[in-house]
Structure 1
Amino acid sequence: MSLQGRLAFITGAGSGIGRATCQCLAREGATIVAADQNFPKVQETLKLLNPQEKHSAMSLSVENKHNIQEVLNNIIKTYLKPPSIVVNAAGITRDNFLQKLSDADFAQVLDVNLKGTFFVLQTFANSLVEHKINEASIINIGSIVAKFGNIGQANYCASKAGVEAMTKVAAKEYGSLGIRVNTIIPGMIVTPMTAAVPEKVMNKFKAMIPLGRFGLPEEVAEVITFLASTKSSYINGASIEVTGGF
């Protein structure tokens, strides 16, 4: 599943699924541009990759469209082309019951998870069209809880449901231009985000997983790597669950 010669851009690359994706894509030969709002963390990610390759770390706030355009301009200046692999792994939670959920927490989750995915998708896809790169793959990260809801996560569920729906639209609009757009739907994955969930709640979720365990970021990253490659050349607009059967 060689990705030699491919340039990959990953948001949320400072930890979790984003970091694991950088490692998997680099292993297959891709040059990595790792981006995260937490720049020290993304620098740590870069240290885990082959130092012989021309990988880059960049600071990025996905909810800031101007910042995204600046980052893209820097990428093109450095590599002379936009990335043909784009992974939207940046995401946050601000959990609370609907009775208590503040306007600010609702808006922030939508801004990062949904609007941020939209900004990156639109900016990078349009650049791919402009540069006439007609073999590209964009992978967005949804969530299994967006399928059926989860107590205390009205904002998160809404944002991830929006990501999945938007991905299907993007697949239809960009598919004829050679850009495939798909969604990964992770279940309960061991990341810094799930580390904040109370143990009692986590045990309840674990009992609902046929495989009897939580997933690892690497297990999601392997599927992302497949979608990034030509092995998945006829997969477009799909939502692929990585949940252990949850």
Structure 2
Amino acid sequence: MRVLITGGSGGIGRALVDRLASEGHEITFTYCRNQAPAAEVANRTGAEPVHYDDSSIDSLAALTACVRGGAFDGLVNNAAQVWRRQLLLKTDIETFLAYQVAALRGVFALSTAFAEEVKRRQTPGAIVNVLSSVTLGIPPAKLTPYVTSKYALLGLTRSMAVEFVRYGVRVNAVSPGMTRTDFNAELPERFIEQLEAGLPMERLATPAEIAAVIRFLLSSDASYLTGANLPVAGGQSC
């Protein structure tokens, strides 16, 4: 299986590169600013790193061309989206719309290019979009632009699942809860403990646990699954 993973130099993406490469799959992953970690991942796993800045139209066009010519069997849209807490009444329209563009533009371009390529080759393919546990239950306050963007991505996931199935493309999503990654490493331990206490499983996820679910969705074991949003959040959605 040949897979393209956006955001593969750290966290969940890195764990997924590790998992798939260890099984002998051919992996291409993107990175933005983390050149040194990307090189380490590439050297350790044999995966191919590609620079991608999702805020750049030219960078997106180059990666889209890579998808069209790459003969990929799977696409994982995992590029991280930075967020900050702010009251909605303190948020301007430009900021709100910027979140939507950041969440949707790259996923739309890469996924449609992937589906077109699968259609042309007449071989099955799978797309997995990495969302967030904010799509599960009551959303957190002061994150409205981010929450809205994730729900929009969920809508795009389900619509693509309906339209792309005729081409042999399955489209699913995962919604991870808070995960122990470098991105979250600087959060106060007391805050982490409070989060864990509120979960039925009483702990945060590891990146490898999220990667295992994504790997399942990419595989033929999930051949009758499309349009799903799998919660991987320690029981948060119960």
**Structure 2 length as normaliser, TM-score?**
0.88
AA of the residue aligned to 2:177: G
C-alpha deviations, 1:161-201, integer Å up to 9, x for none?
11111101000000111000000010111123333545454
| Residue 46 of structure 2 corresponds to residue 60 of structure 1 | no
Shift of residue 25 of structure 1?
1.2
Paired residue for 2:28?
33
What is the 5 A alignment of 1:78-97?
A: 81-97=70-86
Contact 2:67 2:110 in 1 (8 A): no
Once residues 105 and 91 of structure 1 are traced to their aligned partners in structure 2, the CA distance between those partners, rounded to angstroms, is: 17
> Aligned in 2, Cα 1:104/1:36: closer, same or farther, shift over 3 Å?
farther
| Residue 12 of structure 2 corresponds to residue 20 of structure 1 | no
AA of the residue aligned to 1:37: C
Contact 1:39 1:59 in 2 (8 A): no
Q: RMSD of the TM alignment (CA)?
A: 2.1
Once residues 30 and 63 of structure 2 are traced to their aligned partners in structure 1, the CA distance between those partners, rounded to angstroms, is: 9
- Unaligned ranges ≥5, structure 2: none
C-alpha deviations, 1:12-58, integer Å up to 9, x for none?
11211111111111122210101121251322221231x4xxx3110
Once residues 91 and 188 of structure 2 are traced to their aligned partners in structure 1, the CA distance between those partners, rounded to angstroms, is: 19
Shift of residue 76 of structure 1?
6.1
What is the 5 A alignment of 1:210-229?
A: 210-229=200-219
AA of the residue aligned to 1:71: L
Identity of aligned residues (%): 27
Contact 1:65 1:119 in 2 (8 A): no
Paired residue for 1:243?
233
Once residues 199 and 166 of structure 1 are traced to their aligned partners in structure 2, the CA distance between those partners, rounded to angstroms, is: 35
> Aligned in 2, Cα 1:123/1:65: closer, same or farther, shift over 3 Å?
farther
- Range 137-146 or range 32-41, more displaced: 32-41
| Residue 63 of structure 2 corresponds to residue 71 of structure 1 | yes
Once residues 139 and 75 of structure 1 are traced to their aligned partners in structure 2, the CA distance between those partners, rounded to angstroms, is: 15
- Unaligned ranges ≥5, structure 1: 1-5
Aligned length: 233
What is the 5 A alignment of 1:79-228?
A: 81-97=70-86, 98-130=88-120, 132-147=121-136, 148-228=138-218
Once residues 167 and 76 of structure 1 are traced to their aligned partners in structure 2, the CA distance between those partners, rounded to angstroms, is: 20
Shift of residue 68 of structure 1?
2.9
Contact 2:30 2:51 in 1 (8 A): yes
AA of the residue aligned to 2:133: I
SS in 2 for 1:48: helix
Once residues 185 and 240 of structure 1 are traced to their aligned partners in structure 2, the CA distance between those partners, rounded to angstroms, is: 6
- Range 212-221 or range 202-211, more displaced: 202-211
Once residues 68 and 151 of structure 2 are traced to their aligned partners in structure 1, the CA distance between those partners, rounded to angstroms, is: 32
AA of the residue aligned to 2:65: N
Paired residue for 1:44?
40
Contact 1:34 1:56 in 2 (8 A): yes
> Aligned in 2, Cα 1:63/1:129: closer, same or farther, shift over 3 Å?
farther
> Aligned in 2, Cα 1:43/1:108: closer, same or farther, shift over 3 Å?
farther
Shift of residue 123 of structure 1?
2.3
- Range 32-41 or range 81-90, more displaced: 32-41
AA of the residue aligned to 1:129: K
Shift of residue 127 of structure 1?
2.4
Once residues 124 and 106 of structure 1 are traced to their aligned partners in structure 2, the CA distance between those partners, rounded to angstroms, is: 28
Shift of residue 115 of structure 1?
2.4
